[in-house]
Amino acid sequence: MNSLLSLLKNRYLYLSAAGLILFGGLSILALDRWIMPAYTNYNAGVTVPDVTRLSLEDAQAKLELYGFRYEILDRRAHSAFPANYITDQSPEPRQIVKPNRKIYLTVNTTERPAVVVPNVENMSIRNAQIQLENYGLEVGTISYESARFRNTVIRQSVAPGDSVDQGTVVDLVLSDGLGGDIVRVPELTGLLLPEAQNRLSEAGLRIGEIRFEPSRDVIPNTVLSYSPVEETMREGQSIDLVISERFDAREVDEAGAIIDDEEGFPEELIPVAPPDTLSDGNNDDSDNSDDHNNDDSNNSDGDDNSNGSGNAGGSNSDPKSPKYNLSDLS
């Protein structure tokens, strides 16, 4: 215990630790600033020349002139190039890389190596192309025939497992998504949409456009009609559906709520005319009826003076002026 305490109190221990930390920091700084940039040519870059369509000898001389190394990665037969010509390179031309970088070359050869043709049937066209290219084969003519699954390889011109020369062209036959069989169209009217989808899938048909229409008579999501209305169709063809939705379904305007006239206004929201206007209208109607009665009585009884005076008063009065009763004046 005493030795440990004496060691901790020794100043040379701390001086040695500080020296190691300082040496490590300086080493890292020198490694980052000078050693590694010089080793990796950090600030140096050379543009890769294009050596494709050149003979192997010319490509070698050109790469050495630019300060690059090279390696023959593969030899493949290509009908567009003479023998011992460069058909491909990696990295690609006009890229900036470090000096002394190795360039990988693909050289054309007259002797085509034999490869085994892979089985690409029942694959998508994309996967089939990748598979054939990986084996050094080329995709040729693509044709279509009637089958259910669209863009799926039905047949290939070279049988799987055959040994052929690398670069051989393989033609493919794809499915157009329409089967060759004639199927019966199921009755869809009155079915719910999920059930109609299952019926069409079981029959080998597809669902085309789905259009919604409001209906009071059937529940929502019910098939109202479909087109084309045929008894039989070709497998894989599409059928358009018209589906019911709620009759009162409507969009709410952002400016305010929608008021339905059929439900009626609340009583407190019904506008009420001023009392004077209502009374004047009623008095006008009553005066007009009195004048009409007085005219009738004057026409029938010419000797009635009271009715005659009432008639005269009614004819000279303005219908828009207010009316008064004698009881009110007294």
The strand pairing partners of 88, in sequence order, are: 106
Look at residue 307 and give its three-state secondary structure: helix
Q: What's the pLDDT score for residue 250? A: 56
According to the model, what pLDDT value does residue 12 have? 82
> What pLDDT score does 289 carry?
47
> Which residues, listed in sequence order, are joined to residue 215 by a DSSP beta bridge?
246
Expressed in angstroms, the distance from the first to the final Cα of the chain is 131
CA distances from 48 to 52, 64, 106 (A): 12, 11, 16
DSSP E strands, 61-168: 69-76, 86-90, 96-97, 102-108, 114-116, 138-145, 153-156, 163-165
Mean pLDDT of the chain, nearest integer: 78
Instruction: Flag whether pLDDT at 92 surpasses 50.
Output: yes
For 270, phi then psi, to 5°, come to -75, 125
Stronger pLDDT, 244 or 313, i.e. the higher one? 244
Q: Taking residues 127-152, report their average pLDDT.
A: 87
- Confidence category of residue 183, pLDDT binned at 50, 70, 90: confident
Reply yes or no: is the peptide bond before residue 194 cis, omega within 30 of 0. no
Distance CA 265, CA 255 (A): 19
> How do strand 232-234 and strand 182-184 relate by DSSP bridges?
antiparallel
| Residue (of 78, 107, 77) closest to 90 by Cα position | 107
SS3 122: coil
For 286-326, how does the pLDDT look when each residue is reduced to its tens digit (9 = 90+)? 444 455 444 454 444 444 444 444 443 444 444 444 444 54
Span 238-246, mean pLDDT?
Answer: 92
Alpha carbon of residue 219 to chain centroid: 30
Which residue spans within 124-222 are E strands per DSSP? 138-145, 153-156, 163-165, 169-175, 182-184, 206-215
Q: Which residue has the tokens 């999920």?
A: 194
Residue 140: both structure tokens together: 């040729």
What average pLDDT does this structure show over 27-37? 82
Give the pLDDT of residue 253: 52
Distance CA 165, CA 75 (A): 12
Question: Residue 9's pLDDT is what?
Answer: 76
Q: Per the structure block, which two tokens stand in for 327?
A: 């009881």
Q: What is the mean pLDDT of residues 255-268?
A: 50
Residue (of 319, 316, 311, 326) closest to 280 by Cα position: 319
pLDDT for res 201: 86
169-175 vs 138-145, strand pairing mode:
parallel
> What is the predicted pLDDT for the residue at 59?
95
Q: What is the pLDDT of residues 61-71, one digit of tens each?
A: 999 999 999 99
pLDDT band at 146 (very low <50, low <70, confident <90, very high): confident
**C-alpha closest to that of 169 among 127, 124, 117, 110:** 117
pLDDT at 125: 92
Q: Please tell me the distance from the alpha carbon of residue 157 to that of residue 252, in angstroms, as a whole number.
A: 61
DSSP structural state of residue 124 = B
Q: Which two tokens stand for residue 32?
A: 């980052």
CB-based contacts of 112: which residues, under 8 Å, 6+ apart?
77, 165, 166, 167
